[in-house]
């Protein structure tokens, strides 16, 4: 019996590895329309591990009124409010449900905000008029940008206090877009010569991440906890391509058959999302997985965009419907055959265990046993 169990344990380990690999490379997704706040358009930017999604949606009021929105594992959307003004947008949510973005104040200015699940707090600026929060980690470290007294916007972080200037590469401005669990921040900074460069800020300062082949500018948008950074920049011929930076090397992610692509999100499995031009000239949401770029489809319209992905593989963005409206959506991976194989192996393992052993185990801990009829 020990030999049987040992053999089955090896088989189970192999299946678990296969299932994990396949779940990280799901080939099919179910797309869910998240709706709006009564208007005709919405966009989802970020999703946490609990399935909470944030973005923005139009309300039915006259004119264009954008409001930060929260979807809890699907529609309907909840309005997160503003800082006293008319409009707001949410760009990120952490695993504790804290969200960040940009909202109008009662004085008509646009300021970065932190939403704690109930209230929206103004994060302030570097002395200038405006600011924006682009990302937040589970330690409540917030990354974004803010205007200073000289009228330039700089990358900043908020860590429970006023905005802290992350500086530039000697140029006038910079923007921080992403922060990981270790507090490393990525974005873009202007050099002394006036060029845009993808950068990472860490404990040792600001560091350039380089350019794509033949390129002259680059911009980093997100990073994961393993130090992989996604960016986009121009290539030979001036075309913009999405790319992955890892250990000093930049990999061009290509397109969906067209000319351009842009990357916006990455998870800890290294899956990258964004949008790319297809051979028909339409921009479609993609997931880059296992060395390949996959088209995520639409709601029946022509285009779609992907902006965020969590570690469960849920992808959020927007997609055009047959009506022509553009709605926030979430793409949810459809389980691969590996998951079914795992269930089959678990069932087989249960049958191979002697009845005496199963009965003894059942009697030894009745509180944790589960019986089915």
CA distance 307 to 273: 6
Residue 17 or 186, more confident: 186
The answer as to whether 146 is a domain residue is yes
Q: What is the mean pLDDT of residues 316-336?
A: 93
The answer as to whether 356 is a domain residue is no
CA distance 267 to 269: 5
The answer as to whether 6 is a domain residue is no
CA distance 55 to 306: 12
Q: What is the mean pLDDT of residues 103-110?
A: 97
In this model, does residue 19 exceed pLDDT 50?
Answer: no
The answer as to whether 5 is a domain residue is no
Cβ contact 38:59 at 8 Å: yes
Q: Are strands 170-179 and 185-191 parallel, antiparallel or unpaired?
A: antiparallel
The answer as to whether 179 is a domain residue is yes
This prediction has a pTM of 0.84
CB burial of 192-220 (b: ≥16 within 10 Å; e: otherwise) equals eeeebbbbbbeeeebeebbbbeebebbbb
Which contiguous run of DSSP H or E holds residue 347?
helix 337-352
Q: What integer best gives the mean pLDDT of the chain?
A: 86
The answer as to whether 198 is a domain residue is yes
Residue 334 DSSP one-character state? P
- Asked which of 34-43, 62-71, 219-228, 344-353 is least confident by mean pLDDT, the reply is 344-353
Residue 170 token pair: 């000697």
Strand order in the sheet with 110-115: 84-93, 99-105, 110-115, 120-122
Q: What is the mean pLDDT of residues 214-220?
A: 97
Residues β-bridged to residue 164: 157
The answer as to whether 201 is a domain residue is yes
pLDDT for res 326: 97
pLDDT for res 173: 97
Band of residue 61 on the pLDDT scale cut at 50, 70, 90: confident
Band of residue 73 on the pLDDT scale cut at 50, 70, 90: confident
Q: What is the mean pLDDT of residues 45-68?
A: 92
**Ordered alpha helix ranges (H), the chain:** 2-23, 337-352, 355-364
What CATH number does residue 152 fall under?
2.120.10.30
pLDDT for res 171: 97
The answer as to whether 216 is a domain residue is yes
Q: How many domains would you assign to the chain?
A: 1
Domain span at 118: 29-337
pLDDT for res 357: 30
């Amino acid at each position: 019996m020990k030999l049987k169990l040992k053999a089955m344990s090896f088989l189970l380990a192999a299946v678990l590895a296969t299932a994990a690999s396949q779940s990280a490379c799901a080939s099919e997704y179910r797309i869910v329309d998240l709706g709006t706040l009564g208007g005709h358009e919405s966009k989802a930017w970020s999703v946490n591990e609990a399935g909470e999604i944030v973005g923005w949606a139009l309300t039915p009021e006259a004119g264009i009124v954008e409001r930060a929105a929260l979807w809890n594992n699907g529609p309907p959307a909840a309005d997160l409010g503003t800082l006293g003004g008319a409009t707001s947008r949410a760009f990120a949510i952490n695993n504790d449900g804290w969200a960040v973005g940009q909202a109008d104040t009662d004085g008509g200015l646009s300021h970065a905000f932190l939403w704690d699940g109930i209230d929206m707090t103004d994060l302030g600026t570097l002395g200038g008029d405006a600011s924006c929060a682009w990302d937040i980690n589970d330690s409540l470290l917030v990354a974004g940008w803010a205007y200073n007294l000289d009228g330039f916007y700089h990358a900043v972080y908020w860590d429970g206090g006023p905005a802290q200037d992350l500086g530039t590469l000697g140029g006038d401005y910079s923007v921080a877009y992403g922060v990981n669990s270790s507090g490393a921040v990525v974005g873009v900074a202007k050099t002394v010569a006036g060029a845009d460069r993808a950068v990472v800020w860490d404990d040792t300062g600001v560091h350039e991440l380089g350019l794509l082949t033949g390129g002259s500018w680059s911009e980093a948008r997100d990073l994961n906890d393993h130090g992989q950074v996604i960016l986009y920049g121009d290539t030979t011929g001036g075309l913009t391509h999405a790319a992955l930076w890892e250990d000093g090397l930049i990999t061009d992610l290509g397109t969906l058959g067209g000319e351009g692509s842009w990357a916006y999100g990455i998870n800890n499995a290294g899956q990258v999302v964004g949008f790319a031009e297809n051979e028909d000239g339409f921009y479609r949401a993609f997931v880059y997985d296992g060395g390949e770029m996959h088209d995520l489809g639409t709601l029946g319209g022509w285009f779609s965009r992907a902006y965020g992905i969590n570690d469960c593989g849920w992808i959020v963005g927007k997609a055009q419907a047959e009506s022509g409206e553009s709605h926030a959506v979430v793409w949810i991976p459809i389980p691969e055959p590996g998951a079914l194989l795992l269930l089959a192996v678990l069932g087989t393992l249960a049958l191979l265990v002697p009845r005496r052993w199963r009965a003894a185990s059942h009697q030894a801990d009745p509180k944790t046993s589960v019986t089915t009829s």
